[in-house]
Amino acid sequence: MSADPQRYTVTAALPYANGPVHIGHLAGVYVPADIYVRYLRAAGRDVKFICGSDEHGVPITIRAQKEGVTPQQVVDKYHALIRDSFADFGISFDIYSRTSSQTQHEVASGFFKKLYDENKFIEQTSQQYYDEQAGQFLADRYIVGTCPNCGNENAYGDQCEKCGSSLSPTELINPRSMLSGNQPVLRETKHWYLPLDQYEPWLREWIVEGHKNDWKANVYGQCKSWIDQGLHPRAVTRDLDWGVPVPVPGAEGKVLYVWFDAPIGYISATKDLLPDTWETYWKDSGTKLVHFIGKDNIVFHCIIFPAMLKAHGDYILPDNVPANEFLNLEGDKISTSRNWAVWLHEYLADFPGKADVLRYVLCANAPETKDNDFTWKDFQARNNNELVANLGNFVNRAVVLTHKFFEGKVPAAVGFTTEDEDVLRQLSEFPQRIGELIDNYRFRDALNELMNLSRLGNKYLADMEPWKLIKTDEARTGTVLHVSLQLAASLVTLLEPFLPTAAERLGQMLNVEKGPWQAAGRSDALAAGTQLAPSELLFDKIEDATVEAQVQKLLDTKKANELAKAVAAPAKEDVSFDDFQRMDLRIGTVVAAEKVAKTKKLLKLTVDTGLDRRTIVSGIAEFFIPEALIGQQVMVLANLAPREIKGITSQGMLLLAENADGSLALMQPGHEVRNGSHVA
Ligand SMILES: Nc1ncnc2c1ncn2[C@@H]1O[C@H](COP(=O)(O)OP(=O)(O)OP(=O)(O)O)[C@@H](O)[C@H]1O
Ligand SMILES: [Zn+2]
């Protein structure tokens, strides 16, 4: 591909419509893709940004079973949630489609049919796992078992999430059905396979030799390792009733494999966007095709989909697949099923007007070359130390001082010093430098360069000290602010791909439109005399309490997960009815309660047992406030032999239930009863 393609088709991985979008998705795929596309648009490129929901496949049907609804209801719910949260976050797709669409059914069917008619598939009958109780073959994630590589007992039929190895169901040790939990049986079934082995020499030439230097090392390395291990025919159909039906005779009850279906979704979405001209974006050699994905999708976008496109014959191949590694959250793998995530729609609700802050943090900390960790502390620090103290501070000082000394009108420059000229020369170099980094998918470095521009501005202001200069030389002060405002004006354009909201607000403040990328860096972007709007802060500080609340939310999730995992304690030995009868269990009311001095856990209670008022010492101080206990009815073992505890004689015992997390709950009657009532 020449450095100067006629047009771009940029795709972002189709998210599964089985859950909302989280920060891992954003950092891995959608934020870098959006930066890339916004930059290309600013540079005047013809670009189409394509995405949509992946609505087929086993993750959808499993979710439907779990929620007790139909697969259609699952995808309708999550498609809308995902589409809206992307829009609110400012991901600027040209189309956000869905693979359950009519167009997709037609295009995917037609694609399969062409390959079938041209004998590009091999037909093969094999033994596959079948759940006799559910009456269903167990594709992919419908089967779990022990991973032969790492011993994980919950590996899926297609992949072990613990060690990352790709599996086939028959490799699992002790396989069991996700549907019934039963051990499945083997049954014969017929499927169509794409003979990847036949494409191996071509893939080796195209990737291993052809893209050694321009694909990212993590992507190239994974592809090379797949190819070096030897490629095998891969089934592109499944025994399922949810998906695009296999459009050939003898395929009743079978649908296209979701990874055959999903990438074709990029094509059908483009067709929905451009019914007349979509083919230019997929078939013309002047088009540069780029796929943004996370690392677990590399094999599908670099090997399987290209082999499909090659087999079809009419399509161009991806020019690059700049896949990212994974983002983790506070040291743990992000997981939809464990609810270990920062969900985009929740972030947008909790941090109104702060989409740009998340975009900034996820780009600055993107897992471009290795897995990375998102922490709320880092989020706060980057906002406060970088966005507020660097970028926001520079812009704010330039605008505020212009209002203060020049009634908000851009002052004229009266002769440049060598310092001014040096700053303006440096400014002129930024657009190209940042652009080249983006062209090479180095978004973190590009963002850092952008921040260097406002660092340059801050340093220039600190060196020139216009707030002091004004006392002696108004004309020179005007020149300094004139120069500073040119930097700020360039930021309107250069910020836009990264922080679109801040860019727009800055443009309004400075009274300039964002220009074409190439024109940023000019030293005359803001004419003398231009009236600025009142200054407002682009970013504000995020307080400790705000991030602590988010951390608490995660701690609550962790606790809930542990509770869900907890199993009941084993049963105790049998006791006789007589033994039980010997216990004097009765209801009393707490009439006084206080902490036992110099202890952490003990409360001294006075309980009216109907027989008497007696003292009971109980180890419950961590869970109850003494005052709140007064007046509560409680269950008491009244004939427990008295015991000395911290110098107090305890005459009986309070009964409590202990929750899995160790917290305690009082045993109380369902409604008030007379003190002294027996429990039997
Ligand atoms: N933690 C992460 N870091 C980076 N990229 C991610 C992360 N999680 C998912 N992705 C990428 O986001 C894209 C869409 O993800 P997809 O909807 O397929 O969900 P997924 O990979 O099953 O994630 P999850 O299991 O969390 O729902 C994929 O390209 C995937 O690689
Ligand atoms: Zn494993």
pLDDT in tens, 151-206: 999 999 888 888 878 888 889 999 999 888 899 999 999 999 999 999 999 999 99
Sorting pLDDT into bands at 50, 70 and 90, what band is 1?
Answer: low
Tokens 């001294």 label which residue? 604
Which ligand has the minimum distance to the alpha carbon of residue 150? Answer: 2
Give the ligand 1 atom nearest the CA of 329: 1
Residue 363 annotated as binding? no
Confidence of residue 207 (pLDDT cuts 50, 70, 90): very high
- For 57-85, how does the pLDDT look when each residue is reduced to its tens digit (9 = 90+)? 888 988 898 889 999 999 999 999 999 99
Q: Poorest-confidence range of 387-396, 416-425, 438-447, 512-521?
A: 512-521
For atom 21 of ligand 1, which residue has the closest CA? Answer: 296
Q: Ligand 2 mean position to 300 CA, how many Å?
A: 20
Give CA–CA dist 559/131, Å, rounded: 35
Say how many Å lie between the CA of residue 360 and the centre of ligand 1: 19
Is-contact 175 142, C-beta < 8 A?
no
Output helix, strand, coil percentages for the chain, rounded to the nearest 5.
Answer: 45, 20, 35
Asked if residue 302 belongs to a known ligand binding site, the reply is no
pTM of the model: 0.86
Closest residue by CA, ligand 1 atom 2: 24
Give the nearest ligand 1 atom to 12 CA: 29
From-to residues of CATH 3.40.50.620 in the chain: 7-111+257-333
Q: Which of 296, 324, 339, 343 most suits a substitution to test ligand 1, by most atoms within 8 Å of the C-beta?
A: 296
Å from CA of 165 to ligand 2 middle:
6
Residue nearest ligand 1's atom 7 by CA:
24
Between the CA of 211 and the centroid of ligand 1 the distance, in Å, is: 25
The arithmetic mean of pLDDT across residues 39-61, rounded, is 95
pLDDT for the residue numbered 164: 77
Asked if 318 and 291 count as a contact pair (C-beta separation under 8 A), the reply is yes
User: What stretch of H or E contains 260?
Assistant: helix 258-273
Q: Which residue has a Cα nearest atom 22 of ligand 1? A: 16
Ligand nearest to the CA of 152: 2
Q: How far is the CA of 598 from the centre of ligand 1 (A)?
A: 52
Ligand that comes closest to the CA of residue 335? 1
Give the separation between CA 185 and CA 134, rounded to whole angstroms. 12
- Tell whether the model's pLDDT for residue 105 goes beyond 80: yes
| Structure tokens given for 217 | 């090392």
CA of residue 516 to ligand 1 center, whole Å: 33
Of the ranges 83-92, 274-283, 571-580, 603-612, which one carries the lowest mean pLDDT score?
A: 571-580
Q: Supply the residue whose CA is at minimum distance from atom 28 of ligand 1.
A: 294
Per residue in 239-273, pLDDT (tens digit) is 998 999 999 999 999 999 999 999 999 999 999 99
Mean pLDDT, residues 626-652 taken together: 91
Residue-wise burial string across 186-206, b where 16 or more C-beta atoms lie within 10 A, e elsewhere: eeebebbbbbbeebbeebbeb
Burial of 544 by CB count in 10 Å (0-12 exposed, 13-18 middle, 19+ buried)?
exposed
Q: Which pLDDT belongs to residue 662?
A: 78
- Is 223 annotated as ligand-binding? no
**pLDDT level of residue 663 (50, 70, 90 thresholds):** confident
Tens of pLDDT, residues 262-320:
999 999 999 999 999 999 999 999 999 999 999 999 999 999 999 999 999 999 999 99
pLDDT of 28 > 70? The answer is: yes
The confidence score (pLDDT) of residue 329 equals: 97
Q: Tell me the β-bridge partners of 593.
A: 605
Residues 652 and 584 sit within 8 Å (Cβ to Cβ): no
**Cα–Cα distance measured from residue 12 to residue 82, given in angstroms and rounded to the nearest whole number:** 13
What is the CATH code of the structural domain delimited by 117-239? 2.170.220.10
- Indicate if the pLDDT at residue 5 is higher than 70: yes
Q: What is the pLDDT of residue 515?
A: 86
Rounded to the nearest whole angstrom, what is the distance from the C-alpha of residue 445 to the centroid of ligand 1?
23
CA distance 131 to 488: 65
* Ligand in closest contact with the CA of 366: 1
SS3 state at 83? helix
Residue nearest to atom 5 of ligand 1 (CA): 28
Tokens matching residue 462:
């600190």
Q: Any residues with Cβ below 6 Å from ligand 1, and which?
A: 13, 15-16, 19, 24-25, 27-29, 293-294, 296-297, 324, 326-327, 334-336, 367
Counting from 1 in the atom list of ligand 1, the atom nearest the Cα of 19 is 27
The predicted pLDDT at position 543 comes to 98
- All CATH 2.170.220.10 domain ranges of the chain, comma separated, are 117-239
Residue nearest ligand 1's atom 30 by CA: 294
Report the mean per-residue pLDDT for the chain. Answer: 95
CA distance 624 to 601: 10
Q: Which of 317-326, 446-455, 566-575 has the lowest mean pLDDT?
A: 566-575
* 645-649: average pLDDT: 91
Residues of the chain with CATH 1.10.730.10: 344-356+374-519
pLDDT at 58: 87
CATH architecture assignment, domain 344-356+374-519: Orthogonal Bundle (1.10)
Is the CATH code 2.130.10.10 the one for domain 577-666?
no
H or E element: which one contains 492? helix 474-495
pLDDT mean over 220-225: 96
According to the model, what pLDDT value does residue 572 have?
A: 86
Atom of ligand 1 nearest to the CA of 292: 29
Q: What is the pLDDT of residue 2?
A: 56
Which of 25, 258, 335 for a ligand 1 pocket mutation test, highest count of atoms within 8 Å of Cβ? 25
Class of domain 7-111+257-333: alpha beta
Distance in angstroms (rounded) separating the CA atoms of residues 538 and 603? 53
Which atom of ligand 1 lies closest to the CA of 325?
Answer: 4
Over residues 517-549, the pLDDT tens digits come to 999 999 999 999 999 999 999 999 999 999 999
Whether the Cβ atoms of residue 301 and residue 291 lie closer than 8 Å to each other: yes
Nearest ligand, CA of residue 12? 1
Residue 622 has pLDDT above 90, yes or no: no
pLDDT of residue 52: 98
> Is the pLDDT at 392 greater than 80, yes or no?
yes
Give the residue whose CA is nearest to atom 17 of ligand 1.
15
pLDDT (0 to 100) of residue 562 = 85
Task: Please report how many Cα atoms fall inside a 13 Å half-sphere around the Cα of residue 510, on the Cβ side.
Answer: 32
- Residues 6 or more apart whose CB falls under 8 angstroms from that of 628 comprise none
What's the length of the chain?
680
SS3 assignment for 572-630: CCCCCHHHHHCCCEEEEEEEEEEECCCCCCCEEEEEECCCCEEEEEECCCCCCCHHHHC
Compute the CA torsion angle 65, 70, 71, 75 (nearest 10 deg): -120
Q: Pick the atom of ligand 1 nearest to 13's CA.
A: 29
Q: How many Cβ atoms from other residues are within 10 Å of residue 352's Cβ?
A: 8
Q: Map residue 237 onto helix, strand or coil.
A: strand
Ligand 1 atom closest to the Cα of residue 341 is 26
Nearest-ligand number for the alpha carbon of 151: 2
**Does residue 27 sit in helix, strand or coil?**
helix
